Amino acid sequence: MACHKEYLCESKCSKSRSCQKHPCRRKCCPGNCPPCDQICARTLGCRNHKCPSVCHRGSCYPCPETVDVRCSCGAASLTVPCGRERSTKPPRCKELCRAPSSCHHAARERHRCHAGPCPPCAQPCVLPLAGCPHTCPQPCHDHVLLKSQQVQLSGPWEQPSEPAFVTKALPCPPCQVPIPVSCFGEHEVSEVPCCRQGRFSCKRPCGRPLSCGNHTCGRECHLLDDSNKVQRP
């Protein structure tokens, strides 16, 4: 060899470098192994990125990236360190919620942008009721949270087949609007719920003239047929 060149053998060093993870692998190493020059590449605490530093011992530095946490409509945002987006609540937004209505109403009640499902609709139902000219005055009942009727389980090894609560649409209740009605003999007028409309017996004597023309009916107030004859109960 030339006098000015250092003679190196072909054997590679098997000692670990300062990171105690990668071997030295330098040819003819005298024992003073150089620092590790490989990238760490361990998954950081954010679980989204890998460590970009040179291979090292101990814990990695926190992720240097940042993430934007946005509200449901995207109008408001909040910048947090990468990994914090899972535990950070969305920022408050001043915009109105843009979610479409999930019931028969054309639009939801006005409320602010929010995370998660919209609150239940509290507008009056106003659907026409069956058999009368009135509309339903109850709060909207298209989506009502009800406890499901689960079958009794035999033991803890069985899993429930249905969720504990289910969302169902309830029918409109009977109309309760008071309306005036008269008795069979038209002696008395009273108010009853619209769902119970129809004439009633006032419990007083009928008083209608009989076919003889001399006497009046002494039976309890009753309904007459089409021929104006007294009907027997």
CB-based contacts of 106, cutoff 8 Å, min separation 6: none
Say which residue, 2 or 123, is predicted with more confidence.
123
Q: Enumerate the β-bridge partners of residue 146.
A: 166
H-helix or E-strand spanning residue 78: strand 77-81
For the whole model, what pTM was predicted? 0.54
Reported as a pLDDT band with limits 50, 70 and 90, residue 233 is very low
Closest by Cα among 76, 57, 79 to 66 = 79
Say if strands 144-147 and 189-193 run parallel, antiparallel, or are unpaired.
Answer: unpaired
Q: Over range 110-131, report the average pLDDT.
A: 89
Domain boundaries, the chain: 12-63, 176-233
pLDDT score of 140 more than 70: yes
pLDDT, the chain, mean: 82
Maximum CA extent, the chain: 157
Q: Over range 222-226, report the average pLDDT.
A: 68
Q: Over range 58-79, report the average pLDDT.
A: 90
Q: What is the pLDDT of residues 153-167, one digit of tens each?
A: 555 666 655 566 778
Contact 118/97 with Cβ under 8 angstroms? yes
pLDDT, position 165 = 76
Q: What is the pLDDT of residues 183-211, one digit of tens each?
A: 777 666 777 788 877 777 777 888 888 88
